[in-house]
Amino acid sequence: MAFLRKLIAALVTPWVIGLCMALPAQAAPAASPVLIGLDGEFGHVSSTSAEAIRQGIKIAVDEINRSGGVLHGRPLKLIEKANGSLPARSVNNIKEFAAMPDLVAVFCGRFSPTVLETLPLLHQLGMPLLDPWAAADAIVDNAYSPSYVFRLSLKDTWAANAMLANLEQRQFKRIGLVMLNTSWGRSTKRAVENYISRNPGIAIVGTQWINWDDVENSMLAKVQQLRVAGAQAILLTANAEEAATLAKVMLTLPRAERLPIASHWGVTGGNLPDLVGKDFYQLDFNVVQTYTFIGQNSPTATRVIVAHNALVGSSNARSIGSPVGVAHAYDLTHILAKAIDLAGSTDRAAVRNALENVPSHAGLIKNYAPPFTAGRHEALSESDVFMARYSPLHGALERIR
Amino acid sequence: MHDWMAHSIVNRATVTGIVFVLFMTFFLALVSLPVIYQQVASAQAADARHQTLRLQEYFELRLDTVSEGLRFLALNSFVVNAFIDSSGRELYLQPLLRDFQVPFGLPGQLVVLDMNHAPIASNDYGDLSGYAGHPVARAALSTGKPRLGLEADGLTLVFAAPVFYPPVSAFVGTLLLRVPVERLFEASSRYVGANQCFLVSAGTHVLYRPPCLAGTLNMDTDAGPVHALRLALAGEPIGLLLKDYEASLAAPLGRIFLSYIFLAILCGVLAFAVFRKPVRSLTRPLVELSRVAQEIAADPKSAGVATVTGGDEVGTLGQAFNAMLGELRELQTGLEQGIAEATHELRIAKETAEESNQELACANTDLARSQTDLTAVNQRLHAQNALLEESEAHLDGVISSAQDAIISIDSQHRVVLFNPAAQKMFGHSEAAMLGQTLDALMPQQFRARHSDHIRSFVTEDANSHRMGGARQLFALRSNGIEFPIEASISRFHSNSHWQHTVILRDITQRMAAENALVQSRQDLARSNADLEQFAYAASHDLIEPLRSVASSVQLLQMRYEGQLDARADAFIAHAVSGATRMRTLIDDLLAFSRVAANANKATDISMESALAAAVANLEVAIADSHAQITHDRLPNMNALGTQITQLLQNLIANAIKFRGDKPTLVHVGARQAGGEWVFSVADQGIGIEPKYFNRIFELFKRLHTREEYGGTGIGLSLCKKIVERHGGRIWVESEAGRGATFFFVLAAVA
């Protein structure tokens, strides 16, 4: 009997010890990270937008992980891939993200044409896309049902309305359009035409399409054509590089011949004042924005500014070069975390459904109640849009009041 | 034929020459044909090689041109843009691809592949799935260089060019162009001869089989010379065989033989032409002599001569014949000339008689014209008499209406004319004065001197002059009152004696006015001197108490600034500013007053030294404003050195102060104009409107507010005073916005 007990003890004890040792090993999968993808325009020369989005996500992820993560203790982890604004590379990236089991959603970058080309693949793969910047209307207003795209950003229609209202308010009635020759530029032009059809007091005198390789000579010819057509101001849709070329051209004109510019916010995806030089501040240059850290003193804003400064080594709110990228990505990451918890799993379809059902979120930009619904995949509204200008003090974007 | 040759020396000589030339031609042909045979064979071989090389270069040019055309298309911004803007591919990329013209008019299918080697656009709407992952596109994208490849069926050449996107510094896709081999290697007749055929192959593939090889698989290399070459293309060695068919020497040699026959005929004709002419020239003089002799025999008066030239025997014969004819004709000509001369003399005598008759008729006409002229002279004399009478009446009118007294005396000094103005001036009637001397018209003390004057005037050369010289003349009215006059005397010679006429003017009122003016000037000078003395004394006496006030408020500012409230600081600042300004004002006034005080101490000075001193005094202002001072060579002047330095200093300081927003160039110039020196100070500053040219020299006058430009408004007044004290004048020439130039003329100080 004693032998039997010894035998049993000899057989059971290692099993119990092994069981005890195995318990932590079984708990380990519960702590495996939940992945978030970022398919951004890293590698695109002079672009800072992807970096700003990365900063916003990281600040939010740090806060969420410090608070216990998602799904009862699993940390969030950001995976980045560079697309350099190339749709083909973005498609490859989406495929690679889709192959990662615990990746729940992908953030996109600033370039609308790139995002638009990935939409079929995203819906084919059932991958939720979170858009913190790209503004083409068709990204959210797509034909997919259910739609996997959720945007916390501005849309071209709102931008066009804000720019034109600003110009009209300043008594500029004859507007020349300078549009980037992409789907983004065409989307903005359609929005402008819709505004004009509702507001006959303001007119478009001409449209000049620009490309990524426009040099100062070709840009000057386009500006002069608009001037000859009677333009009193320019409405610009371009990225920072093309806008810098336009600004340099404008500075070559005598002061009396320079036209005021109301710009879409693609220019804030790079450091426009640095690209132009110190004379940039001589220009009348306003840009659409949805958020500025300057003058914000809420606890959330203070927390994000401090975290941002610690992350990139900057000193104050004026150092945040692309504020909308940081702010949008920050709020969108928090909303995603709530959706993951609401879904209770990393299943992408469940997370997509949960995003439509997050009841509310007190965010950096505003209180979202709710952020998204089944019929509304835009977290912001037109009332969140305002015009800003580059302050001669450090070149920071500040709201025009 | 025999008769024809016997008839003329010319015919015989011509036939001989032709036979000789034909013989020489055939001999040359016999010798040269073997050499020509060798040359033709060698040239044929070289030509075939050259043809092959040309064909090779032509094909390489076609391949390179197509490849370059594709490469340039890959740089097009629309092509590049399509890689980041998928929705624009239908909008602008498809039209661009459809419009792309493959060089040489070749047909071609153009396909755009993205970085995943997936086709994204094409110049047609066919199925593009077959192009996905095309190996040539892969090679171009991986190497970043254009590539060329052959499709597996050997019927199509594929060109690929990578597309570069600068914003990401990477190749993002490829352009693929497929061209049928047959069309690519089509060669025009310009590069391939009629008897030539070529074949293009790559490895075992025959890429191009021209119509000349229809029905045969390979080129028959035994039937004639074949030239094999290789096209140097990227990665794909392509062979080229060119063959000459029917290459034979018979044709060229036949053509050369025919050429010799043609040459022999041509030489015969030339020999006929060349030999016949000189032989004819030998026999022609003999024929000519015969012809002239026959002509003279038929008509002895014939003028013909033999046209025989040259120094040979035939020429000498011709000349002797012509000399004989000449002597005979001279005898005949002498007789005919004698008759002609006699006839000529008779005609001249007749013409002389006719000319004499014409001269007599002319003399009669002149006599009649003289009588007419005499009548005209008489008429002119009558007209002059009438004018003389009118002139006398006019003179009487002038004398009667003159405002000045006019009195004429004869050689005995008795009055012969006493006009109405004289009667009014002296109170004597004309009747009372005629025949009297002038004594009644002048005060007692002048009468003797007057007689001497009249006598001395008679001996002078001049016919008129002013009386009295520097002395004041006086006359006597009938009421015994003396009055000042101006008088002039003149004389004229009439009827063998002299007459004198005196013209007198009463200057009583003018003298009174001049005396009053002199008195006013004296009063004004005295007043100015008093004022200047007062200003000097006042400024001098004011400076001490003001210095005390200024020092006190400055001390107050230094010690208590910031300790009192803001308003007190402002009041003190105002006080310091006011005291400083007042001190500047008084300093300027003092300088202004000193100009008069020092006016009599002129010495010889160097204007160069004065300018140097002025520039040294303005050293700080010149350095601060980056002004540049230049000058001409300046002369020495008799002037007050300190005042001239002050003058130049004020003008240069003025130029610097009103320079505007840019550094100015100030130039001090000098030029001599007659006995004066004209100095100028020119700048490039804001300038002055012409309406202010005089105002700026007035005391305390300013054109700008004190906030715009500091100063007291005395500087230019001081300049004017200095210049005027030196007997000179100062003025400005300027135009608003275009600089100003101040001129001053300096004369010696009085």
Any idea which residue has 């005027």 for tokens?
B724
State the pLDDT at residue A169.
92
What are the chain A neighbours of B116 within 8 Å (beta carbons)? 88, 91-92
What residues contact A334, with CB distance under 8 A and at least 6 apart? A60, A63, A64, A361, A363
State the pLDDT at residue A344.
95
Average pLDDT over residues B571-595: 77
Measured from the Cβ of residue B493, the count of other Cβ atoms closer than 10 Å reads 9
What residues contact B113, with CB distance under 8 A and at least 6 apart? B119, B120, B131, B132, B134, B137, B141, B173, B174, B175, B176
What is the rounded distance in angstroms from the CA atom of residue B302 to the CA atom of residue B394?
Answer: 97
Measured from the Cβ of residue B275, the count of other Cβ atoms closer than 10 Å reads 19
Tell me which residues of chain A, numbers 332 to 371, contact chain B at a CB-CB cutoff of 8 Å: none
* DSSP run (H or E) holding B140: helix B135-143
pLDDT of B438 strictly over 50 = yes
What is the rounded distance in angstroms from the CA atom of residue A51 to the CA atom of residue A41?
Answer: 9
State the pLDDT at residue B482.
86
**Residue B52, SS3?**
helix
Q: How confident is the model at residue B368 (pLDDT cuts 50, 70, 90)?
A: low
Name the token pair of B507.
Answer: 């200057």
Amino acid at site B608: E
pLDDT tens, residue by residue, B322-360: 787 777 777 667 666 766 775 676 677 567 656 655 665
State the pLDDT at residue A19.
39
DSSP state of B93: I
The vertex-B229 CA angle with B227 and B232, nearest 5°, equals: 165
DSSP string, A45-92: TTB-HHHHHHHHHHHHHHHHHHTTTBTTTBPEEEEEEE-TT-HHHHHH
What are the chain A neighbours of B115 within 8 Å (beta carbons)? 86, 88-89
**Closest-CA residue in chain B for A47?**
B167
What is the rounded distance in angstroms from the CA atom of residue B152 to the CA atom of residue B532?
Answer: 116
pLDDT tens, residue by residue, B138-159: 999 999 998 888 887 778 889 9
pLDDT tens, residue by residue, B54-73: 877 888 788 889 989 999 99
pLDDT of B272 strictly over 60 = yes
Q: Is the interface score ipTM higher than 0.90?
A: no
- Contact by Cβ (8 Å): B730, B604: no
pLDDT tens, residue by residue, B167-210: 888 999 999 999 988 888 776 667 776 666 777 776 666 777 66
* DSSP run (H or E) holding B521: helix B508-560
pLDDT of B442 strictly over 50 = yes
State the pLDDT at residue B707.
72
Distances (CA, A) of B453 to B456, B460, B469: 5, 11, 12
The vertex-A57 CA angle with B87 and A161, nearest 5°, equals: 45
Q: Give the strand pairing for B464-466 and B170-180.
A: unpaired
What residues contact B7, with CB distance under 8 A and at least 6 apart? none
Average pLDDT over residues B78-105: 88
State the pLDDT at residue B253.
74
pLDDT tens, residue by residue, B492-535: 776 667 778 888 888 888 888 888 888 888 888 777 777 777 77
- Contact by Cβ (8 Å): A136, A116: yes
pLDDT of B216 strictly over 80 = no
Per cent of chain B over pLDDT 70 is 82
**Which of B80, B87, B120 is the best residue to mutate to test the A interface, defined by the most A CB atoms within 10 Å of its own CB?**
B87
State the pLDDT at residue A8.
44
Determine contact: A241 vs chain B, CB below 8 A: yes
Determine contact: B133 vs chain A, CB below 8 A: no
b (16+ CB within 10 A) / e for B46-76:
eebeebbeebbebbeebbeebbebbbebbeb
What are the chain A neighbours of B119 within 8 Å (beta carbons)? none
Q: How confident is the model at residue B229 (pLDDT cuts 50, 70, 90)?
A: low
State the pLDDT at residue A207.
96
Compute chain A's Rg from CA coordinates: 25
Interchain proximity B83–A89, CB inside 8 Å: no
State the pLDDT at residue A11.
42
Residues of chain A with confidence (pLDDT) below 70: 1-30, 315
What are the chain A neighbours of B87 within 8 Å (beta carbons)? 113, 116, 182-183, 186
Average pLDDT, chain B: 79
DSSP string, B613-637: HHHHHTHHHHHHHT-EEEE----EE
Min distance B116 CA to chain A CA atoms (Å): 7
Q: Which residue has the higher pLDDT, B255 or A139?
A: A139
Is the omega angle on the peptide bond into residue B635 within 30 degrees of 0, that is, cis? no
What are the chain A neighbours of B77 within 8 Å (beta carbons)? 211-213
pLDDT tens, residue by residue, B378-404: 677 677 777 878 877 788 888 888 888
DSSP string, B208-230: E--GGGTT-SS--TTSS-EEEEE
Average pLDDT over residues B632-636: 90
Phi, psi (rounded to 5 degrees) for B505 = -130, 130
State the pLDDT at residue B144.
92
Q: Which residue has the higher pLDDT, B412 or A353?
A: A353
Q: Please tell me which of the candidates B81, B86, B87 has its beta carbon nearest to residue A211.
A: B81
Interchain proximity A212–B172, CB inside 8 Å: no
State the pLDDT at residue B335.
62
B305 CB burial (10 A radius; 0-12, 13-18, 19+): middle
What are the chain A neighbours of B90 within 8 Å (beta carbons)? none
Interchain proximity A44–B165, CB inside 8 Å: no
User: What's the predicted TM-score (pTM) here?
Assistant: 0.52
